Structure 1
């Protein structure tokens, strides 16, 4: 307990999955937490669950596609808890039906994903940074994705938006480091959130498992614990980085799993 005592955190997209994990861990380690989500009932329920454990949390509505809504979320955090010292920009969208290859993708979907996945990070930071300067510093954490680092057959807009998050993270870190504001990203691979478990066929999960270096999939707390570390003073000399939390899925020669299978047949 106490790794983030005295800190005030705004977690966007915090009603479920990775955001809920981060909000819960931050609260349990001493932070006052505002959980902001389009699913306002889920955000309020999550905050109530934390309050029932004697922790400090509030749940509010957030539409990350709207500048005014993002501004209001930051202002609520400051007005309710007195400041903001941790901002976790976690909202993100993907659409497998419309976000296709560059020839066939829906251009309106491109604009929507750039707005929600990338511009919301800019706006959250834009409104939080002046308060962090007044507070003497802070930590901004952005959810990127391994899609920012590797090409794929589809989700062109998603990957481009997340690559933008990675570089925007560096720019914020460079521009506001002298104010003791750190900015880092976390890039998840496949994480077994409730949404992933409910929507991904077992065959797809098996494909990911085949190419992971580790013999298991990631859980929401694997990302939540990384966010907790980046929010805490344990990471006080880390800024401008994006930590890849993906089980070694992308770090090896992509043929290694198939080559191991080949060797197994040869050695029989």
Structure 2
């Protein structure tokens, strides 16, 4: 892809799954990558694989729910690489205590909603707000936010998660509208069912079979599918794409 070699990218949530795959793909394209995650051991493992393959990556611990931690993440990136050219937001609280208790409204737990919005939406607002001055200093740059098909399809469960991801879509459009003329692009990727470490641990075979039957491709998603799309949106090849959220879900959702 054009324009990725030498770019300085922060992956906010790069310990496992889509985040790890995207960090590795960006490094393959020549990016210098800061891998941030609450799971420092996982972030270090991702950075280690990148280094072993000849790429450049640094791991850092950070918490999307902590504004000061977010600020320190980007300060670390600027210290290590001399600036920041892009951000991939992919972190979320997918723990059993949070998404595992995200029931329908008749069984609503307000603490689950607060935690979900704090991490999955407000956390993205913190990272976007913090990276924008760095991007402006670099003459522009790109942000890619991870949404979810849950924001579109209307699930019987996970309403807090769906609401947070719908908010991420609105946040993406806001950033593109406010700073697009100053050279900042902000887009989103919306995955369907992706067979990552977390997903494999929580999804039954019956559920996977049902999803596979409903999509328009012969297999379920892989983290590398999202990594390819995110890398494109961060590259100069996507210079005229702004304010969009793309469904990367095997044709599971068809919408304008």
- Paired with 1:97 and 1:17, the residues of 2 have a C-alpha distance of 18
Alignment-derived partner of residue 101 in structure 2: 98
Q: Spell out, residue by residue over 1:206-252, the C-alpha distance to the aligned partner (whole angstroms, 9 max, x if none).
A: 01011111121010000000000001000000000001011111229
- Paired with 2:90 and 2:99, the residues of 1 have a C-alpha distance of 19
Matched, 1:11 2:14: no
The answer to whether the 8 Å contact 1:3/1:29 transfers is no
Where 2:103 maps in the other structure, the secondary structure is coil
Alignment-derived partner of residue 233 in structure 1: 236
Cα distance, 1:48 vs structure 2: 1.6
Corresponding residue to 2:190 among 187, 192, 203: 187
Matched, 1:28 2:28: yes
Q: Spell out, residue by residue over 1:147-167, the C-alpha distance to the aligned partner (whole angstroms, 9 max, x if none).
A: 111211110100000000001
Alignment-derived partner of residue 203 in structure 2: 200
Answer 1 or 2: higher relative contact order, Cα 8 Å, separation at least 6: 2
Alignment-derived partner of residue 164 in structure 1: 167
- TM-score norm. by structure 1 comes to 0.91
* Structure 2 unaligned spans of 5+: none
- Paired with 2:232 and 2:123, the residues of 1 have a C-alpha distance of 23
Corresponding residue to 1:140 among 139, 143, 146: 143
Runs (4+) off by over 3 Å: 94-97
* Structure 1 unaligned spans of 5+: 253-268
Cα distance, 1:195 vs structure 2: 1.5
Determine which structure has more spread, i.e. the larger CA radius of gyration. 1
Cα distance, 1:96 vs structure 2: 4.4
The alignment's C-alpha RMSD in Å is 1.3
- TM-score norm. by structure 2 comes to 0.95
- Paired with 1:38 and 1:158, the residues of 2 have a C-alpha distance of 19
Alignment-derived partner of residue 60 in structure 1: 60
Q: Spell out, residue by residue over 1:131-181, the C-alpha distance to the aligned partner (whole angstroms, 9 max, x if none).
A: 110100000000000111121111010000000000110000000011100
Alignment-derived partner of residue 176 in structure 1: 179
- Paired with 1:97 and 1:33, the residues of 2 have a C-alpha distance of 31
Corresponding residue to 1:154 among 147, 153, 157: 157
1:240-255 correspondence to structure 2 within 5 Å: 240-251=243-254
- Paired with 1:197 and 1:111, the residues of 2 have a C-alpha distance of 26
The answer to whether the 8 Å contact 2:128/2:143 transfers is yes
